[in-house]
């Protein structure tokens, strides 16, 4: 029953993508990312204000897992400090790679990806937006 609920949350984010838009402005960093295993593509937009991500958005095309993950991630990281975003990123990757729910870190709707760790071929799909985030933060 819980897996059905998680599937519904993922499909809702896929069908009604949150923050699915282009951001512009001088404080916006834009990163293109292509999933090397399947060809899904996305552009991540981050509007920075000092050491915080004020707004996050994306455009792209891909499977339900990659697009839902991007939708959830953009909701999750908005108005967070870079330190908080780094903690969220580590927690989400641990969830995907090992299926472990993080202690004291609220991943919100992203917890619906807990079962993806069993599907190793889908790890890159779920982590695509987070890899784009890493790329944006390093540039």
Q: How confident is the model at residue 4 (pLDDT cuts 50, 70, 90)?
A: confident
**What is 2-138's CATH topology?**
Sufe protein. Chain: A (3.90.1010)
The model's pTM: 0.93
User: Taking the domains of the chain in order of start, what are their residue ranges?
Assistant: 2-138
**Model confidence pLDDT, tens digit, residues 16-51:** 999 999 999 999 999 999 988 888 999 999 999 999
Give the Cα separation of 127 and 2 in Å (integer). Answer: 22
Q: How does DSSP assign 71-91, residue by residue?
A: HHHHHHHTTEEHHHHHHHHHH
Say if residue 25 is exposed, middle or buried (CB neighbours under 10 Å; 0-12, 13-18, 19+). Answer: exposed
Q: Chain-wide mean pLDDT for the chain?
A: 92
3-state secondary structure of 59: strand
The whole-number pLDDT of residue 29 equals 95
**For residue 2, is pLDDT > 80?**
no
**For residue 115, is pLDDT > 60?**
yes
Instruction: Report which of residues 139 and 12 the model is more confident about.
Output: 12
Q: Give the highest mean pLDDT range of 4-8, 92-96, 101-105, 110-114.
A: 92-96
The whole-number pLDDT of residue 6 equals 74
């Amino acid at each position: 029953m819980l897996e059905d609920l998680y599937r519904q949350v993922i499909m809702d984010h896929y069908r009604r993508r949150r923050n699915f838009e282009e951001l512009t402005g001088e404080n916006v960093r834009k990163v293109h990312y292509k999933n090397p295993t399947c060809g899904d593509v996305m552009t991540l937009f981050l509007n920075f204000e000092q050491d915080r991500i004020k707004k996050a958005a994306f455009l792209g095309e891909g499977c339900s897992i990659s697009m839902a993950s991007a939708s959830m991630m953009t909701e999750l990281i908005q108005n967070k400090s870079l330190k908080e975003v780094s903690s969220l990123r580590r927690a989400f990757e641990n969830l995907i790679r090992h299926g472990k729910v993080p202690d004291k870190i609220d991943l919100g709707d992203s917890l619906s990806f807990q079962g993806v760790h069993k599907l190793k071929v889908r790890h890159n799909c779920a982590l695509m937006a987070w890899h784009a985030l890493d790329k944006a933060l390093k540039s």
